[in-house]
Amino acid sequence: MAETKLQLVERHIRAFPDFPKKGILFRDICPILKDAAALTAVIDLFEEHVRANHQQVDLIVGLDARGFLFGPLLAQRLGVGFVLVRKKGKLPGATVSVSYELEYGKAEAEIQEDAVTPGQKVLLIDDLLATGGTLYAACELMKKQQAEILGCLVVIELKELNGTDKLKPLEVFSLVRY
């Protein structure tokens, strides 16, 4: 059954050559979101993985912006809360932030100061793992908050960019790898 769900997910990922610039093959998840069965399959597969591998999860932490699409659905299924990691300047109130490197410059990610309490067990979620910079920054935020990071979940992993190396020793669970 899991293989059938995975095949459904794979069929709903589109490839766009030379987007956003020449030489990049963009993997588009929009067809997954448009199809109720494909979206359900993604959340089912994530839920099955979490229930089989993590006895206790307190929070799902979603990365701006596509982690916001999958994270709340998974959190609801698991009966846990959801926390946002946003680009700097997007959250009200006191925040905690980290800077990180992108292929084309620097960026900052932040969470609300009271979003995660020390010792909470968290799983981070995003749509795509490429070089690992954004997920690494989110993990650094969780460390600042003294959370226990259980691992990372992504729909797509671009293996040739070695993003998992940047996240070691954390486990990264990817549904689809290219």
The one-digit pLDDT tens for each residue of the chain (178 residues) are 677 999 999 999 999 999 999 999 999 999 999 999 999 999 999 999 999 999 999 999 999 999 999 999 999 999 999 999 999 999 999 999 999 987 678 999 999 999 999 999 999 999 999 999 999 999 999 999 999 999 999 999 999 999 999 999 999 999 999 9
Class of domain 2-177: alpha beta
Question: Is 66 a known active-site residue?
Answer: yes
Q: If you ran DSSP here, which 8-state letter would residue 127 be given?
A: E
Question: Is 177 a known active-site residue?
Answer: no
Cα→Cα distances 87→25, 29, 74, 151, 169, Å: 24, 21, 22, 21, 25
pLDDT at residue 119, rounded to an integer: 98
Active-site residue (options: 10, 27, 47, 66): 66
pTM recorded for the entire structure: 0.95
CA of residue 125 relative to chain centroid, distance: 2
pLDDT at residue 1, rounded to an integer: 63
Active-site residue (options: 51, 101, 103, 108): 103
Domain ranges, ordered by start, for the chain: 2-177
